[in-house]
Each structure stands twice: as structure tokens, then as C-alpha cells.
């Protein structure tokens, strides 16, 4: 009985991150460093098709399915770039706008041309119980504008063309600690962090 009890006590201490990207796992570990939980990547064999029509829907889909498949709590995020003049595109298709970051940036700049450059990064986060029930959701945004040419070598994706006027830098030019503080993902986590200990330890 003791071994069974210990197993049950240990199981909820695992929080599965619904991604196969080690970089995203590391980023989430930084945001959740104060939680007494072990974050793990989802098993590679679990492949979630993102069929939602919003960032929130996709985050919920990934968190729920990974939680059910692993029998653990799960956290997922879905994020992307929304350009005002393109009606919010590329949006949920941000990662599918091209085969490489260079192709995605090139396509976006061609489509935007000389239109209004206002844009925002959006991030949605969802947390699911082991049975797949979504118990927490959050969203965060970071407003900025799209440059005509890339600047900076840090970051990934659209970071070299996403300029934040308040800091006079693109995401790709920012020190990691600054991006970690002001990004769309940071805003989403700040909205959800106060509630996390209560939910995860319930």
C-alpha cells in the first residue's frame, strides 16, 4: 500500500509540456522555476494535429490530448504573429507560412509590402488535468511593428523583423532576459502564474 501511495503522490509532480521542442521546454522551465514540479517533454510518439481555429483552441487541444495520453498534468501553448494589415495573418499558420524562417519572413514581407506595419505576437496557454479537463487558460500579447529588413541574430521565427518601439529593438536584438520579461509568452505566464500553485496542488 505504501508503494502505491508513494506512486500516486509522485505522479502529479510531473507536468508534461505538450511540445517536442527542447527549447520551448527550457523556456517554460524558466517561467515555472518556482513551482515544485518536474517539467518533461511530451513523448515523441504523441502527435497532435492542430485543428483549432484560434491559438486558444490549439493550446487546449494539445494540453488535453497530451494529458490524457500520458496520465499526467499537461501544459501547452500556441503562439504566432498577427499583422494588422493582413487581417491577422499569418496567425495560427505562422509556423506553416514557409519551410524555413527565412522563407516565412520573406513571404510576410512580400505580402505586407508598403502597408501598415502594426503587428503583435500572441500566445495562448492551457493547462489540463490528467483526465484532459482544461482547468486554466491565459493569453498574452506584445505589440510592435514589422521592419522592412531583418535585424539581429538572436531568437527564432519572425523575431528579426518584429520591432518593439518602446525598447528600439527587434526581438532578435534583445538580451534573452529582456525578451523573457516583455514577450507575449511572458505576459501569458504572468496572467496565469498566481493561480498555478492552487490548481496544481488541488
CATH topology of domain 2-200: Maf protein (3.90.950)
The three cell numbers locating residue 126: 492551457
Name the residues annotated as catalytic. 78
| pLDDT value of residue 29 | 87
Q: Establish how many alpha carbons lie within 13 A of residue 14's alpha carbon, considering only the half-sphere containing its beta carbon.
A: 16
Q: Are 161 and 147 in contact (CB under 8 A)?
A: yes
| pLDDT value of residue 97 | 94
75 CB burial (10 A radius; 0-12, 13-18, 19+): buried
Alpha helix stretches (DSSP H) within 44-138: 55-70, 101-112
Q: Is the backbone of residue 177 left (phi > 0), alpha (psi -120 to 50) or beta?
A: alpha
CA distance 20 to 113: 34
| pLDDT value of residue 103 | 96
| pLDDT value of residue 9 | 45
> Does the global pTM surpass 0.85?
yes
Compute mean pLDDT per 10 residues along the chain, 202 residues long, and list them. Answer: 41 80 83 87 88 95 96 94 97 93 96 94 96 96 97 91 97 93 94 86 72
| pLDDT value of residue 45 | 87
The candidate with the shortest Cα–Cα distance to 155, out of 57, 81, 53, 97, is 81
Amino acid at each position: 500500500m505504501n508503494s502505491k501511495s508513494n506512486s500516486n503522490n509522485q505522479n502529479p509532480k510531473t507536468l508534461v509540456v505538450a511540445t517536442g521542442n527542447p527549447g520551448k521546454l527550457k523556456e517554460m522551465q524558466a517561467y515555472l522555476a518556482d513551482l515544485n514540479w518536474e517539467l518533461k517533454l511530451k513523448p515523441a510518439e504523441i502527435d497532435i494535429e492542430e485543428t483549432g481555429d484560434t491559438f486558444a483552441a490549439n493550446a487546449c487541444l494539445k494540453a488535453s490530448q497530451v494529458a490524457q495520453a500520458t496520465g499526467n498534468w499537461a501544459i501547452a501553448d500556441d503562439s504566432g504573429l498577427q499583422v494588422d494589415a493582413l487581417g491577422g495573418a499569418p496567425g495560427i499558420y505562422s509556423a506553416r507560412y514557409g519551410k524555413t524562417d527565412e522563407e516565412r519572413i520573406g513571404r510576410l514581407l512580400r505580402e505586407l509590402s508598403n502597408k501598415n506595419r502594426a503587428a503583435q505576437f500572441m500566445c495562448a496557454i492551457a493547462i489540463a488535468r490528467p483526465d484532459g479537463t482544461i482547468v486554466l487558460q491565459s493569453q498574452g500579447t506584445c505589440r510592435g511593428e514589422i521592419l522592412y529588413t531583418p535585424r539581429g541574430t538572436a531568437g527564432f521565427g519572425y523575431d528579426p523583423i518584429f520591432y518593439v518601439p518602446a525598447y528600439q529593438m527587434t526581438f532578435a536584438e534583445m538580451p534573452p532576459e529582456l525578451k523573457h520579461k516583455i514577450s507575449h509568452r511572458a505576459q501569458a505566464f504572468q496572467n496565469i502564474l498566481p493561480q498555478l500553485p492552487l490548481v496544481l496542488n488541488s
